[in-house]
Amino acid sequence: MTGYSLHIGLNRVDPDAYGGWDGKLNGCVNDANAMLRLATATGFEPVQLLDAAATSQAVITQMGAYARKAVAGDLVLFTYSGHGGQVADIDGDEPDQQDETWVLFDRQVLDDELRRMYAQFAPGVRVLVLSDSCHSGSVVRDVERDALLQQERERDLGLEPGARGGPPAVLPPEAVARVMPRGVAEKDDKTRRTTYEFVQSLAGPTTDEDVAASVLLISGCQDDQYSYDGPVNGEFTGTLLRVWDEGSFSGTYADLHRKVLDQMPSRQQPNFFPMGARDDAFVGQQPFTIAPPGGTTTAA
């Protein structure tokens, strides 16, 4: 059996594509490099896309290439480190009426697109997605909630608030949320509304029944939280790497998630979300094991 992996990291985006916003972050390329090393050490055949190389076309093309290659028993790993965003949902499959996104170099890629890509994988393929970004629900798009989350984070870190009316404070990386600012998100959604409606319509609503592969998403935070950057790695990725401890970790994916959860602050609690075909043996494997588990795969 074969392991394929794709590692995406963006410390910046194209300001010409986002109305002057460059999305500067600190630890995302480090995250992608670290996950590339992990994947190489565990036997994957990896591809990496960083900053300007991490365009929507490049990411979707590589995901599609893996969907065509992978056969039952293979393991495909996707890691994403960068900003998360939202655009307005048009097909009614989101309770909060917002599609969550990965903020790539040239445009946002919607969760509708990603689910449609997962639906292209054959039955029996295992897909693991690690996303160190803000996959937030509509509650964090609220201006007051946005400000409160950031103020609480800065207070936890012992930072003094900036002077009212003065220039924005220059925050250390550990205080920077990996979320597209609300104003930037609204402007981008308006500017690209035709594009986003096109890809939403093309992808269509995708349910678990449409996904024949077994997909496990472990993301950096809950719907109403932020994923934070760091001086070296993102808080989620850095914690995962410590728990993994160069392969010394022993346990299941659920155990890995639980141990990462235990070491992270209450304001950022990673999510654990299986989708597609139910495969308890996959979820019960030692993480990043390419050899297929015993047992059978059944529809969810």
Query: Which two three-digit tokens encode residue 44?
Result: 């994957």
Q: Find the mean pLDDT for residues 52-81.
A: 97
Instruction: Determine which helix (DSSP H) or strand (DSSP E) holds 16, and give its type and residue range.
Output: none
Please report the pLDDT score of residue 111 as a whole number: 86
In sequence order, the β-bridge partners of residue 85 are: 101
pLDDT tens-digit profile of 11-46? 999 999 999 999 999 999 999 999 999 999 999 999
Residue 220: exposed, middle, or buried by beta-carbon count in 10 A (0-12, 13-18, 19+)? Answer: buried
Q: What's the mean pLDDT when you consider all of the chain?
A: 87
Strand-by-strand arrangement of the 75-81 sheet? 45-50, 3-9, 75-81, 126-132, 214-219, 271-276
**SS3 label, residue 12:** coil
Q: Find the mean pLDDT for residues 65-77.
A: 98
pLDDT tens-digit profile of 232-254? 999 999 999 999 999 999 999 99
Q: Walk me through the domains of the chain, giving residue ranges and CATH numbers.
A: 3-283 (3.40.50.1460)
Percent of the chain residues topping a pLDDT of 90: 63
pLDDT tens-digit profile of 134-179? 854 333 345 566 667 777 788 888 887 655 555 566 788 888 999 8
239: Cα within 13 Å, side-chain hemisphere: 25
Q: Is the dihedral of CA 161, 163, 169, 172 positive or negative?
A: negative
Cα angle vertex 15, ends 130, 226, to 5°?
Answer: 35
Whether this prediction's pTM lies above 0.85 is answered by yes
